[in-house]
Amino acid sequence: MTMMLTDLPMAIQRSDFAGDFVWGVSTSSYQIEGAAAVDGRVPSIWDTFAATPGKVRDGSTGAVACDHYHRWEEDLDLAQSMGLNAYRFSIAWPRIFNGVDAEPNAKGLAFYSRLVDGMLARGLQPWCTLYHWDLPQYIQDQGGWNNRATVDLYLRYADVMTRHLGDRVKHWITHNEPWCTAMHGNWDGMHAPGNKSLPLALQVCHNVLLSHGRAVPLIRANVPDAKVGIALSLHPVMPASDSATDRAAVSRHDALRNRWFLDVLYGRGYPAQALALVGADAPVVEPGDLEAIAVPCDFLGVNYYFPEVVRDAPDEYPLRAQIVFPPDRQRTDFGWEVAPDGMVTLLERVARDYPTGDLYVTENGSSYDDHLEDGLVRDTARRDYLIRHLAAVRDAIAGGGRIKGYFAWSLLDNFEWAEGYLRRFGLTYIDYETQRRIVKQSGEWYSAFLRGA
């Protein structure tokens, strides 16, 4: 399906948003840094997973990726040249500690200090994500996030990083997408460490959320003027038909996909509906855990990509629901539905139902099969996706949402997890053989938009 120009909100402009609106891009350490064995970095679960035959579609790893570890200045120059005022990055825990009882790695600390200084020198507000899935393998060897002791290891890591960078970094995200950490990593096995156990996944999820809740006051103690939040991958859930059974399936699916996180973060505990569905597979919750998880935060990060359409499926444990893919929808080359209206629905729902405070779109982007031709990447579909979703953010704000910023995913093409290098999400094309960076048409449009052109 080809997008017609008449379908695009071409009149959108930066002046439609508040003057202090945060405009950024998001990245993550394992996806771009490379330098997997440089300056004291030790293996992460993703190094192990990617090295296991059959786990990554193209057989690749993040060992080199975009070589951002050595090319960070060029990449920050790109971000500055686009007219951004913020840059979201994550820290690689395996660069900071090489063992449970080890002292912090000075070279790892120095790298992130240089990176933050580079952002500030270019007028980019640093937004730091402490955990974006690259758990040190030595921690996984002791049970990983299923082991409650990992919460304490995470707190020590968070303590070191906030003390080290807190004089310059004021915006902190404890975790990126705990759904993916827990469910893709431990239920369907699509991501590292590749387990396939629902009770394991739910316990991992609880421990990750507990580490978030316990980290928030620690971060605030180390960085008194910090703004602290968490970034969730959320989806509006739609029924496959108007039948009562499909509508009921929506409620069951939403209970685990969205409310499992939102309810507990905002003081309601885990949804009774979801607990009834998972039964004995529910996580062990110790006294005080739910109160810790529900610590008030300064903002919520929402990562939005597409809606999920579900139908009643009585044989599908535990939700008795199944995701389906209607054939009449516009999709990216990754197969994800292009639905900017879904972003409006989601942001309005979250703002209406939960006391989130400020909302930020911390990821939003699209994957297309880009090609470099005559030195250019004419990714018109991604440019149009960006235009339509920025218009959706504008509409959600007009509807009363306290949305204070937008981070496009991503600055660079990168290692796309289980897809390897087969998927490109970047506003900048990476020629992986030469590591040459070429700003795509979408990146040029974003830059023009941000500069008021």
3-state class (DSSP) for residue 285: coil
Confidence of residue 9 (pLDDT cuts 50, 70, 90): low
Q: Domain extents for the chain?
A: 16-451
- The pLDDT mean for the chain works out to 96
User: CA-to-CA distance for 322 and 216, rounded, in angstroms?
Assistant: 35
Amino acid at 348: E
The model's pLDDT over 87-100, given as tens digits with 9 standing for 90+, comes to: 999 999 999 999 99
411-440 residues labelled b (16+ CB within 10 A) or e (exposed): bbbbbbbbbbbebbbbbbbbebeebebbbb
Task: Tell me the catalytic residues.
Answer: 177, 363
Q: Supply the pLDDT for residue 7.
A: 53
Q: What is the pLDDT of residue 10?
A: 60
Summarised one tens digit per residue, pLDDT across range 332-355 is 999 999 999 999 999 999 999 999
Mean pLDDT of 44-62: 98
- Name beta bridge partners: 171: 127, 227
CATH of 16-451, picked from 3.30.70.360, 3.40.1350.10, 3.30.10.20, 3.20.20.80, is 3.20.20.80
Q: What is the pLDDT of residues 387-417, one digit of tens each?
A: 999 999 999 999 988 999 999 999 999 999 9
403-409/22-26 β-pairing: parallel
Could you read off the pLDDT of 104-155 as tens digits, one per residue? 999 999 999 999 999 999 999 999 999 999 999 999 999 999 999 999 999 9
| pTM (2 d.p.) | 0.97
SS (H, E, C) 81-128: HCCCCEEEEECCHHHHCCCCCCCCCHHHHHHHHHHHHHHHHCCCEEEE
* Helix/strand/coil for 79: helix
Residue 6 pLDDT level (bands cut at 50, 70, 90): very low
